[in-house]
Amino acid sequence: SNERAYNFSAGPSMLPLPVIEDVAANLANYKGCGESVMEMSHRSAEFKAILADAEQNLRDIMNIPDNYKVMFIQGGGTLQFAMVPLNLLRKSGKADYVITGTWAKKAAKEAEKFGDIKIVASSEDSTFSYIPKVNREDFRPDADYVHITLNNTIYGTHYPYIPDTGDIPLVADMSSCILSEEIDVTKFGLIYAGVQKNVAPSGIAVAIMREDLIGFAKENVPTYLDYKIHADNGSTYNTPNCFSIYVAGEVFKYIKDMGGVPAMHKLDVEKADKLYDYIDASSLYNCPVNKEDRSLMNVVFVTGNPDLDKKFVAEAKAANLHNLGGHRSIGGMRASIYNAMPMEGVDALIDFMKKFEEENK
């Protein structure tokens, strides 16, 4: 087909079409410099400008204060699961994790290799359908950090609040919600996000880290896994993923031009409200997630009949609505509606859902 589908994949996911078209127009010869970004030296003046602009635009749209470093690191979200404990278990060797889904569990499991990890709360008892309430008293006073997963991609939940950890640095995995909502960066010691949902093609993670927390990795930590190496060398200690950084920069610029994160958020709320309202009113579909804790980005729903769910996903694909299957671990359906999913995509999905409901009563 020559037509672009509405792609509801949880990641990699849709990127803004104007960005893709601009990247395509510059693919073989970036802005007349005679080279593609895929080919150019990461030490060239052209790439240095791409990197500096990407960082500055991210700082602008997220209001990142000067005492935070911005790093682009290979290895996606998963490598951050290891880098966090390797760098932040710096005094007591203890860290507290809140478990709200598969990714939070994986992050904690990785950390357990390196320190004394306490699970302070978990919603696993109800298949992660809600976000536990945690307070300052729930954390060990000498914990080196507290880790949360702000948006849970698989279960479709999102924290309706930012936990108060007092003086303990709060670390947040924002892989599946970064740039969809305004975030007060100063509430966090470290924010990280794999980029392949709201930001860029896969291959890097963005890390935003308070300066005074950098530089505590032990001597035997591999060089690449020390945040200080990335911070001191402006994300070019070694050859970075130039192309992913470039596209990320284009997306940051695009968001800025569209009115910034508040404008993205407004549209995200409109899209998600429309879809949840339809699901809640329907007699075929059900969203198992606690209302207050629902994600704007990942909308999870089921019919209650796994065979019918499979039929839904297959017929939707034939109708140009791609990747609506739930994560392989839970099945059902999941519509990931990140920033780049237009309202038309949500409308097309709802129209299809109505038709499918009519045909499968």
Annotated binding site for pyridoxal 5'-phosphate: 77-78, 103, 153, 173, 196, 238-239
Question: Do residues 208 and 189 make contact, with C-beta atoms less than 8 angstroms apart?
Answer: no
- Fill in the per-residue mask, 175 to 214: x = in contact with ligand PMP (CB under 6 A), - = not in contact: xx-----------------x--------------------
Q: How many CB atoms lie within 10 A of CB 211?
A: 12
Catalytic residue among 69, 94, 197, 253: 197
149 in helix, strand or coil?
strand
Whether 69 is catalytic is no
* β-strands 321-322, 6-7 pairing: parallel
Window 139 to 158, contacts with ligand PMP (CB under 6 A): 149, 153
By beta-carbon distance, which residue lies closest to ligand PMP?
76
Q: Which of 103, 226, 271, 309 is labelled catalytic?
A: 103
96, 110, 144, 173: residue in contact with ligand PMP (rule CB under 6 A):
173
| Closer residue to ligand PMP in complex, CB, 176/180 | 176
Asked if residue 109 lies in contact with residue 78, where contact means CB atoms within 8 angstroms, the answer is no
Choose one: 115-123, 171-179, 262-270, 338-346; the region binding ligand PMP (CB under 6 A): 171-179
**DSSP conformation letters of 185-210:** GGG-SEEEEESTTTTSSSSEEEEEEE
How many residues interact with ligand PMP (rule CB under 6 A)?
11
Stretch that binds ligand PMP, among 170-178, 253-261, 283-291, 301-309 (CB under 6 A): 170-178
Q: Could you confirm whether 167 is annotated as catalytic? A: no
Residues 84-143 binding ligand PMP (CB under 6 A) are 103
Distance in Å, CB of 178 to ligand PMP, minimum: 10
Which of 70, 56, 57, 55 minimizes the C-alpha distance to 188?
Answer: 70
Establish if 11 lies at the interface with ligand PMP (CB under 6 A).
yes
Q: Using DSSP bridges, classify how beta strands 68-74 and 321-322 pair: parallel, antiparallel or unpaired.
A: unpaired
- Listed ranges 75-83, 123-131, 135-143, 215-223: which one lies at the site for ligand PMP (CB under 6 A): 75-83
Q: Are 298 and 176 in contact (CB under 8 A)?
A: yes
**Alpha-carbon torsion, ordered 39, 43, 48, 52, to 10 deg:** 110
325 strand-pairing partners: 333
Active site residue 197: yes
Q: Binding to ligand PMP by residue 76, rule CB under 6 A?
A: yes
C-alpha to C-alpha distances, 82 to 38, 187, 300, nearest whole angstrom: 28, 22, 28
- For residue 250, which of 26, 32, 42 has the smallest C-alpha distance? 26
H or E segment at 68?
strand 68-74
**Do the beta carbons of residue 198 and residue 339 sit within 8 Å?**
yes
Does position 241 interact with ligand PMP (CB under 6 A)? The reply is no
> Binding site membership: which residues?
43, 77-78, 103, 153, 173, 196, 238-239
Point out the residues that are catalytic: 103, 173, 197
Q: Which residues bind ligand PMP (CB under 6 A)?
A: 11, 76-78, 103, 149, 153, 173, 175-176, 194
